[in-house]
Amino acid sequence: MFAQVSKWIAAAALLISAVAHAEYEAGKEYTVLAEPVAVMADGKVHIEEAFWYGCPHCFHLEDDIEPWKKNLAADVAFEGVPAMFGRAWVAHAQLYYVADVLGVLSQVHEDIFKAYHIHGKKLLSRDDQRDFLVEKAGISEKDFDKAYESFTVKSRMKQGDQRIRAFGISGVPALIVQGKYVVTASTAGGQKNMLKVVDYLIAKERAALQGK
């Protein structure tokens, strides 16, 4: 009797697993890149968010992403990658990396979105960006100018642009999992579903990393 019950449990587990894996399909809810983009080999599942501060969809997605990020497991790494599809996008990408280099990105990231979409501050000029970070993060004008002109910021902008191009995306927001899978609102069936698909892909990649 015990053996039969064990078989039922095993069969049920296989069925549950099959249903879970059938929930989202490659080519439907997410896209598989023909050529994966390398991520750091640190045993973690890497999530990258392609975004633009001026994008209203990215702004609204932040309401879901911020609480989601706080609950990510220790083996999941999250990073933003600002897209640069126009002059304004480039200006905002530079602001993003300057804030990151100065160590205040987490402090001002949400405020930058709000400044653009709620308060009408476009933050496109160097002066406006400097004034913003001085006010919001308390950095000095000298530190801002040093970071703004730094090789580190310029290099990270170049690397970020290369990654965006390698992802083959033409719009934002987009979430890229482990440099392999691209999830957008269009593929996921709406922005509210994007993180559900990403959670599925995190589990998929975690199992792969653990050799399961």
For the entire predicted model, the pTM comes to 0.88
Residues of the chain above pLDDT 70, percent: 90
- CB-CB contact of 81 with 160 (8 Å): yes
The yes/no answer on whether domain 26-209 falls in CATH 3.40.30.10 is: yes
Question: Is the pLDDT confidence value at 22 over 70?
Answer: no
Please list, residue by residue across 59-69, b when 16 or more beta carbons sit within 10 angstroms of its beta carbon and e when fewer do.
bebbeebeebe
Q: Hey, where are the domains in the chain?
A: 26-209
Rounded CA separation 135/69 (Å)? 26
Residue 212's pLDDT band (cuts 50, 70, 90):
confident
Question: Is the pLDDT confidence value at 20 over 60?
Answer: no
Rounded CA separation 101/147 (Å)? 7
